[in-house]
Structure 1
Amino acid sequence: MGELQERKPPACTAARPRVLLLCSPCMGHLIPFAELARRLVADHGLAATLLFASATSAPSEQYLAVAAAVPDAIDLVALPAPPPVAVLPPSAPTRERVELAVVSNVPRIREIARELGAAAPLVALVVDMVGVVARDVAAELGVPLYMFFTSPWMTLSLLLHLPEMDATRAGEHRDATEPIRLPGCVPIHAHDLPTSMLADRSSNTYAGFLSMAKDAARVDGILVNTFDELEPAVGEGLDGLQLQLPVHTVGPLVWTRPAGVDMDHRCMSWLDQQPRGSVVYVSFGSGGTLTWQQTAELALGLELSQCRFIWVVKRPHQSSTIGAFFGTQKGDEHIPLDFLPEGFMERTRGMGIVTQSWAPQTAILGHPSIGCFVTHCGWNSVLESVMNGVPMVAWPLYAEQNMNAAMMEVQVGVAVRAKVGADRFIRKEEVANGIRRAMVGEEAERLRKRSSELRGQSAHALSKDGCSTRVLAQIANTWKCASRK
């Protein structure tokens, strides 16, 4: 997969009923979409075509890593980036660039759907939150439109309630003194709201978010990447909104790469030499970025903690916490580490690994030497941590990550939260303190015990008789029965 191209499914799957999946150019969405497609094919007898709406012409390192591991039975199609005449300036909000990548490809999506429908029964169109704009394609083909929500139920519940809140609440959401209380969820304080809800309600940013919230209810069903033991309240509180909308838990769906590829990574051989539970893993996902000052302070905090570490570091970005949202390019690992404090690499030699390239996160988190995970609380990272029983130090950056952090700390009990100063800056002492809380002492023991419990529950959800497996089987059977009729 050195370039963007289509992969045709093997002949043996050509006659199977087929699901068409559409993923917007968010790496955090592509990973669970690929796993959902894999399970529909491997476990439920369907064929799957996965469309990825590219926002940039050159494929990112993260996209190539996922694409290289997608099973041959899945037809992966990278849709072209928006044409030059439609490209937005680099300063345009990320949400607008994401939406443009999907909207500009609707004609191509329609064409692909028709071609697939002519060759074999097309049974459903599955989209993410941004892809609901393609609902007319599903209507034209007479197939159900399902949304695969790749964030937690709490965020989906907030979205489904937002139109009503917008109509009944006065003032800016960020100025609210009382938290939002949704059934079965932790109270959502103003400072923990998704980034787009903190914008002025008269702004295009907020208007676009509200529009997506309204679209979320215009589907035939919703699949949520969570499981019952993690979020027992899934589906609660919708009766008051008069929404006849089935919501199903099908998670935790995270991407797992072939073990042979993972074991070749230098991090894995280094971990093999470390004591059990002694290593801190630090990563802010495929898109998260820190400023130069905050990156330096994190480095000094890691050094101060005196813990072994693996740090997947990205070049700082002074004006955005999502400076790498569309991924990084091959070769970025050769950029000088001149943004780290002078002497840091020398002082921590042997104590930790700093890597700028793609790292096998699932394999790293599954290694017995890992003791905690310093994470931005993107939902994929949260689920991977939960599935491997690893406590978290929560350091949210954007989107709904503050809500995820609050849920993991207060409701689920598997995380501690890094203490943020009044200037939104986390000092090295607080970095070290958060790590120590998760690694040593009574609090760390409690986190490990709860994380271990949740690990077993997540594994059961995906087992043969697990709730998520049964739900996905029922949905797949419904799609197949409808196609036979």
Structure 2
Amino acid sequence: MADQPMSNSSRRVAAPCQHFLFVTDPMQSHVASTRRLAERVAAAAPNARVTFSTAVSAHRVMFPHLKSPDGEVLHGVVSYIPYSDGFDAGFNPELHGANADAYWPRARAVGSETLRDVVERLTGRGRPVTRVVYTALVGWVAGVARARGMPAALFWAKPATVFAVYHRYFHGHAAELLLSGLPPLRRDALPSFASMASPGKRHHLTLAVLRDLFAALDDDDEDHGTVVLVDTFDELERDALRAVPRLDLVAVSPVAAWDEPPRRGLLLLPGEAKACIEWLDTKPARSVVYASFGSVLSVSKRQEEEMRRGLDATGRPYLLVAHGGGGGGERAMVVEWCDQRRVLSHPAVGCFVTHCRWDSTVESLAGGVPMVAVPRWADQTTVAALVEESAGVGVRARVDGEGVVSRGELLRCVGW
């Protein structure tokens, strides 16, 4: 069904017994995973209503052709209605300050107020929200839900092991992170708490936001227990899912694996993404090395140079995602962006060099593609341990004193 602005007749439909409201921050990966979960719930519970809400800036990206870019949209069986985080044109460091501290306090205050307006608007239309699901970076949503007596569940779009490690850290057990209840983890597999806890460090604010989140979970637990929906599956993290007995951690299976297989028609893909697939179509099965460190954090010039030299040295065709893109040829393709889920499900791809963000890892697992793990910060080191030791589907690359994976190390890891 095409995107449709909500009509008056749509608003007069009688409310069903359940109405799920999914709320996420505007980060692209969080929007994508939460949207898939919302669509899955809508498919599994056809008699319920499902509404998805993200910040106005992300809503406008999702539906760029709306006459009213902030308006409510019906797409399939899910309705989309945004809240404002105070940065409707998106957070711009040049305008709002280079430090992310300028974003979170305002986003929490404005978001809490405007999400309450969304809930009240839905109630006024005869569609009262009965249950709320929210992501980790909008922990303030739990307070909005609690004030209206609505049950709320956290959607943890990371492994259960990471959740259990953070839970112990924020409850004063930083020295006991390797005790029973968690799978064996080396010290270098734990999140980089020491760096994250230092004021002024790039990811210090992330740790503060997570601290607030776990405090909110404790408040909910005192009232009626808390459900945490975890983007994982029992076979991979059976022990970790039971490592926090005071909370009910429920595996909802990797949401990245829920979509139908990619359709062969590529007419809707952007030009660069379509070119990637067409290039892969010319390569033998399992012959291509795909390398990407994501689009959020940049890599050093030395690391990019070592990456290109190492991939060249493998003698295998490779697809590299790098800032600026460009370059390559018959044996190599370098782009600024690609449709990663389509790439990892393509039969020509035989290896994924990844920074181990969880959604990327899940997409690789779903595509059956082995990984070379190059974690860069925070809990990516823990995900790398799951890839190498728990799932046995990859190898972790060693870095030098500057945190760079050399061309020789990359060649060692990729060789097969």
If the length of structure 2 is used for normalisation, what is the TM-score? 0.81
1:37 alignment partner AA: A
Q: Distance in 1 between matches of 2:387 and 2:106?
A: 33
Deviation sequence 1:263-294 (CA, Å, 0-9, x none): 85122222222111101111223423211221
Q: In structure 1, the residue corresponding to 2:50 is in which secondary structure? A: strand
Deviation at 1:44, TM superposition (A): 1.2
Q: Distance in 2 between matches of 1:230 and 1:210?
A: 26
What is the match of residue 149 of structure 2?
142
Counterparts of 1:177-192 in structure 2, within 5 Å, are 180-181=178-179, 183-189=181-187, 191-192=188-189
What is the match of residue 45 of structure 2?
44
Counterparts of 1:60-459 in structure 2, within 5 Å, are 71-82=75-86, 89-93=96-100, 97-98=103-104, 100-118=106-124, 119-165=126-172, 169=175, 180-181=178-179, 183-189=181-187, 191-200=188-197, 205=205, 206-219=207-220, 220-239=226-245, 243=246, 245-254=247-256, 256=259, 259=263, 260-261=265-266, 265-315=274-324, 345=327, 348-357=328-337, 359-436=338-415, 440=416
What is the match of residue 320 of structure 1?
none
Deviation sequence 1:376-424 (CA, Å, 0-9, x none): 1111111111111110011112231111001211121111111211221
Q: Distance in 2 between matches of 1:96 and 1:250?
A: 34
Q: Distance in 2 between matches of 1:433 and 1:305?
A: 9
Deviation sequence 1:353-397 (CA, Å, 0-9, x none): 11113x221121111111011111111111111111110011112
Cα RMSD, aligned residues only: 3.3
Equivalent pairs, count: 383
Distance 1:142 1:6, change over 3 A: farther
Q: Distance in 2 between matches of 1:35 and 1:161?
A: 29
Equivalent residues of 1:53, 1:101 under 8 A apart: no
What is the match of residue 32 of structure 2?
31
Q: Which runs of no fewer than 5 residues in structure 2 stay unpaired?
A: 221-225
Q: In structure 2, the residue corresponding to 1:349 is in which secondary structure? A: coil
* Highest RCO, 1 vs 2 (Cα 8 Å, sep ≥ 6): 1
Q: Percent identity?
A: 24
Range with greater deviation from structure 2 (305-314 or 400-409): 305-314
What is the match of residue 10 of structure 2?
11
Q: Which runs of no fewer than 5 residues in structure 1 stay unpaired?
A: 170-177, 316-332, 338-344, 441-485
Equivalent residues of 2:142, 2:216 under 8 A apart: no
Equivalent residues of 1:160, 1:216 under 8 A apart: no
Q: In structure 2, the residue corresponding to 1:105 is in which secondary structure? A: helix
Deviation sequence 1:312-359 (CA, Å, 0-9, x none): 2225xxxxxxxxxxxxxxxxx7xxx5xxxxxxx3xx4100211113x2
If the length of structure 1 is used for normalisation, what is the TM-score? 0.70
